[in-house]
Amino acid sequence: MLKLRIITALVLLPIVLGALFLLERQAFALVAAAFFLAAGWEWSAMVGGLNKTLRVVWVLSLAALLVAAEWFRPVWLLSWVPLVWVGALLLVLRYPGSSRYWRAPWKLVLIGYALLVPSWAALVQVQSQGALGLAGPWALLFILLWVWAADTGAYFAGRAFGRHKLAPKVSPGKTIEGLIGGVALALAVVALVAWQAPVEGNRLLLLLVALVTVLASALGDLFESMVKREAGVKDSGTILPGHGGMLDRIDSVTAALPVALMALSQAGLPGGV
């Protein structure tokens, strides 16, 4: 499984880096939208009660919202996202009892919009406008490195040291030791890059922003795990060998990027909303 994960990652990496560094805003937005619409298709399968026609309609409505978000670029689209994830945290902590509050298909339809549209908008904004004194592609790669490092650190720390379950009713495989390992690796990456690269802003505040972002990314992962558990599926899809579905790959980003932009703003660092 690990070998397959690595091979898939090596195939995806040139595509992601090529889009990051070679495309202007509109072209990058289209490529990113393809990934997010694929994730939206997988989300629609977990809603329940939707036949294929209704799933297509929902994905088309998601595409329309992405277009509207890029056309109008409303500031409020990102500013309220942290409140959504506070609510998501409460739902995860109270699962399975919390399922009665969100399991209805119409609620999951709205939740899908709330997860995917702001995170896509945040992705496009950072790639085009930059943050922390870094040009757009470098700024986005920097923030994505936080999430990737956290995922990698959590995977290996969990396998080596995992003893205490993080959220056993939601995702039995995740451990507190894994979370700590992921946070530690992510913060080490942030400190190293900030030391070597021309990153602007107070370093301690940057580490705090990274910490909040990484914790949000872990919450995004847990939230999707909760929805998958309720839907009775292990992975959101099979499009990425060794990784599962597209949604499985971007679940951390759905929370991390919007929260990162709001945290940068609150900390007074360049690149916030």
Q: Are strands 171-175 and 165-167 parallel, antiparallel or unpaired?
A: antiparallel
- pLDDT of residue 226 exceeding 70, the answer is yes
The domain in which residue 53 lies consists of 2-267
Domain count of the fold of the chain: 1
Residue 198 covered by a domain? yes
pLDDT reported for residue 241? 65
CA 235, CA 53: separation in Å to the nearest integer?
22
Contact 80, 114 (CB under 8 A): no
Residue 39 covered by a domain? yes
Residue 273 covered by a domain? no
Residue 171 covered by a domain? yes
Mean pLDDT of 159-174: 94
pLDDT reported for residue 1? 58
pLDDT reported for residue 13? 85
Residue 272 covered by a domain? no
Burial letters 217-230, b for 16+ CB under 10 A, else e:
bbbbbbbbbbbbbb
Residue 7 covered by a domain? yes
As a whole number, the mean pLDDT across the chain is 93
CA 50, CA 81: separation in Å to the nearest integer?
26
- pLDDT of residue 170 exceeding 80, the answer is yes
Please work out, in degrees rounded to the nearest 5, the angle formed at the alpha carbon of residue 76 by the alpha carbons of 72 and 79: 135
Please work out, in degrees rounded to the nearest 5, the angle formed at the alpha carbon of residue 64 by the alpha carbons of 107 and 37: 70
What tens digit of pLDDT does each residue of 23-58 get? Answer: 999 999 999 999 999 999 999 999 988 999 999 999
Mean pLDDT of 109-124: 96
Residue 93 covered by a domain? yes
Residue 47 covered by a domain? yes
Contact 57, 47 (CB under 8 A): no
Look at residues 76, 88, 113 and name the one whose alpha carbon lies nearest to residue 216.
88
